[in-house]
Amino acid sequence: MKTLAAAVVVLSLLTGCGGVAKAGPSATATTVKNCGIDVAVDGPPKRVFAAYQPAIEMAHALGISDRLVGTAYLDAEVLPRYAAAQKDRKYYKNLPSREELLSQDPDFVLSGFNDVFSSAGSDSSFGSRKSLSDLGVQTWIFSPLCPTADGKGDEAIDPSTVSMNNVYADLRDLGKLFNVADRAETVIADQQKRIAAVEAKVASAPKPTVAILRPGLEGGGLTVSGGPDFGTVLIRQAGGVNAFADLTSKRNVKISVEEFIKRDPDYILISGCCDATLTETQVQPDVQKILANPAYANLKAVKNKHVVPWLFAHHSAGVRGANSTELIAKLIHPDLVR
Amino acid sequence: MTRSWGGRAAGLLVAGGVLLAVVLLSLVAGNQWFGPHDVYVAAADFTGSDTDRVIRYLRFPRTAVGLLAGAALGLAGAVMQGITRNPLADPGILGVNAGAALAVVVAIGLLGVQSLTGYVWFAMGGALIATVVVYLVGSVGRGGATPVKLALAGAALSALLGSVTSAITLLDLSTLNEFRFWVVGSLTLATGSIVTQALPFIAVGIILALTLGRSLNQLALGEDLAATLGTRIGLVRVLAALSVMLLAGTATAMAGPIAFVGLAVPHVARALVGADYRWILPWSLVLAPIVLLLADVVGRLVARPDELQVGIITALIGAPLFIALVRRRKLAEL
């Protein structure tokens, strides 16, 4: 009876949004809820696999670089302050297969995006979170990308969860799991301070519209960041509005070129992606293509040369939040933010 | 429909008129609807307004590609059905599209070719190589290049090339993104310069194909009888292969592998004008762009603010139509 009562108490504790740690049977055992799934560890995980840029950078930010047994799929160069820590880590250019992942014997998989656990996702899916948990591998999806159920992907993101607060909640929860709570608080405080500083400066300024555009072919249409993309949050913090925030079916929304012209955003960020050595400089040719395309010549952003190279890594949820907010603010409010 | 010479010619004129109307529709329909006057202004009295730019730089090339790729695919399908005497023949079955698509993926993924002007040549080369390989493999053994052997060789090569393509895209996921275009065709990528570049190839292919009508009619009687009637079967095959390479390769380079147009349209033409290839070929030439452009217009309208790629629409329209045709007409009739 006592156990049952204790279980009820624990369950009620776990229903909080960001998740709450509890003292388990052993001193270091911790359970935290992530995207509706209990993540339970007996002690700080020692063998962590980080998939995608945001996860890799968050691991470095939390100071657990030496616990990374594998890292995969960088979208761009890691932030300079993590470059040294990343240099010696085992790195996979593409996501490894489930078998390859398990061969690294991880006890924890930290993923910056939800598709690695999505059954409808990529061919290289690691399998559902439950299937990994059954093997003793705990998993984590960044909370701003929580699908509504295990095995689902981007189509099932709740837009209300897309926020910097959920990045902070992740940092706190991971801080508890990895026993690096102080480090997590330091990171959070830094992010909050920098973002608040930007928000204060741009608070009363007019809000230009900003489009984040993926270059490339994609069947001839264009791919832009829609409402559930973290770019929407970053643009808002920087004192602008995502020109495609009303399209909420997915993070990356396909639209026709004609629709893009009709919306005529004030600023266009060309979001280059998916190589461990990528920098903004390499995205410049895609900027030139937009500027040189006669179909786009009437766009405000083109006339004012407000088409700029950008990185996909910049608008992913994670510890780049403050950095990216500052970058966008400098671009769209150059007189207010320097 | 009447099968007299005058009836067929008049019908062809009517079909040409329908094609003109569809071209106009393709210019005015889309995310925003324009009027015929807007089209005139964009063409003759360009002011640089948004409307002018959308029509001139997006819908003109798109419609031109629809016209060229449609005509090319319809004609290529008709030639292939005639030369293989196989009612299911089309650029897909004989491995031409697979060859073109693989060459394009090699160009993007391994050689780093970025511009569309680079793809055109790779696609045509790939189409040519695939056509030759299929022909050589299909010709091995007794009886030469029989229709069934050609179709089998094409299917086998398509499977092989498809595997190689997959292997390349697995090496580099960023290629995979770009490869999507080469899985399902679309009219939206081409620019005016691509159209200009492709035009000579398509034109030569069309002329070549149209001269084959009489030979294809004789081949339809069987190879022995055709040879007796003076048809140089080997030469006809080479000319047919050349025209298919030009037509299907260039169409794939412009618009990706668009399915079912080359398969279904010649059957529609055959249903309308009978088994005479001297009529099937020009009718396919006119009917196919009508089908392709209409499919593209539908794709623009049904999924706004996105668009469905034209290859998806042609498959949706073409597959049931084709099944109906196959059920209605005995396969042995060709």
pLDDT reading at B97 higher than 90: no
Would the CATH topology of A15-188 be identical to that of A206-332? yes
Q: b/e map of A208-246 (b: 16 or more CB within 10 Å)?
A: bbbbbbbbbbbbbbbbbbbbbbbbbbbbbbbbbbbbbbe
What number of C-beta contacts closer than 8 Å exist between A and B? 80
- Could you state, in order of their start, the residue ranges of all structural domains in chain B? 5-333
Q: Which residue has the higher pLDDT, B72 or B175?
A: B72
pLDDT reading at B178 higher than 60: no
Q: Which residue has the higher pLDDT, B159 or B109?
A: B159
Mean pLDDT of chain B: 85
Axis-axis angle for helices B116-139, B233-255 (nearest 10): 150
Most confidently modeled range among A124-133, A183-192, A211-220, B178-187 = A183-192
pLDDT of residue B271: 87
- Kindly report, residue by residue over B217-235, the tens digit of the pLDDT: 998 888 888 888 888 888 9
Q: Which CATH architecture has domain B5-333?
A: Orthogonal Bundle (1.10)
CB B73 within 8 A of CB B261: yes
**In whole angstroms, what is the distance from residue A298 CA to residue A260 CA?**
12
pLDDT band per the 50, 70, 90 thresholds, residue A137: very high
CB B183 within 8 A of CB B221: no
pLDDT of residue B284: 96
pLDDT band per the 50, 70, 90 thresholds, residue B171: low
pLDDT of residue B319: 75
Mean pLDDT of chain A: 88
| The CATH fold of domain A206-332 | Rossmann fold (3.40.50)
pLDDT band per the 50, 70, 90 thresholds, residue A16: very low
pLDDT of residue A14: 41
pLDDT of residue A259: 92
pLDDT reading at B16 higher than 60: yes
Most confidently modeled range among A151-160, B137-146, B183-192, B281-290 = B281-290
Contact A261 B50 (CB under 8 A): yes
- Kindly report, residue by residue over B298-319, the tens digit of the pLDDT: 999 998 888 888 888 988 887 7
pLDDT reading at B185 higher than 50: yes
pLDDT of residue B325: 61
pLDDT of residue A159: 83
Q: Which residue has the higher pLDDT, B230 or A331?
A: A331
Give the pLDDT mean for B280-289.
96
CB B251 within 8 A of CB B76: yes
Chain B residues with beta carbon closer than 8 angstroms to that of A258 = 30-32, 54, 58
Chain B residues with beta carbon closer than 8 angstroms to that of A256 = 30-31, 188, 300, 304-307
Contact A258 B58 (CB under 8 A): yes
pLDDT of residue A8: 43
Contact A273 B53 (CB under 8 A): no
Chain A interface, mutation test: which of B306, B310, B313, most A Cβ atoms within 10 Å?
B306
| ipTM over the 0.95 cut-off | no
Hey, which residues 12-71 in chain B have their CB within 8 Å of chain A? 30-32, 48-50, 53-54, 56-58
Contact A297 B48 (CB under 8 A): yes
Q: Which CATH architecture has domain A15-188?
A: 3-Layer(aba) Sandwich (3.40)
Structural tokens at position A26: 């052993």
- Kindly report, residue by residue over A35-52, the tens digit of the pLDDT: 999 999 999 999 999 999
Any B CB within 8 A of A277 CB: no
Tell me whether strands A209-214 and A222-225 are parallel, antiparallel or unpaired. Answer: antiparallel
- Kindly report, residue by residue over A59-88, the tens digit of the pLDDT: 999 999 999 999 999 999 999 999 999 999
pLDDT of residue B7: 85
- Kindly report, residue by residue over A264-273, the tens digit of the pLDDT: 999 999 999 8
Option in A94, A253, A295 nearest B54 (CB)? A295
Cα-trace Rg, chain A: 20
- Could you state, in order of their start, the residue ranges of all structural domains in chain A? 15-188, 206-332
Helices (H), B45-191: 50-53, 60-84, 96-105, 116-139, 147-171, 173-179
Give the pLDDT mean for A116-145.
85
pLDDT band per the 50, 70, 90 thresholds, residue B162: confident
**In whole angstroms, what is the distance from residue B241 CA to residue B79 CA?**
9
pLDDT band per the 50, 70, 90 thresholds, residue B332: very low
pLDDT of residue B95: 80
Q: Which residue has the higher pLDDT, A155 or A268?
A: A268
Cis geometry, peptide bond prior to residue B305 (ω within 30 degrees of 0):
yes
Any B CB within 8 A of A16 CB: no
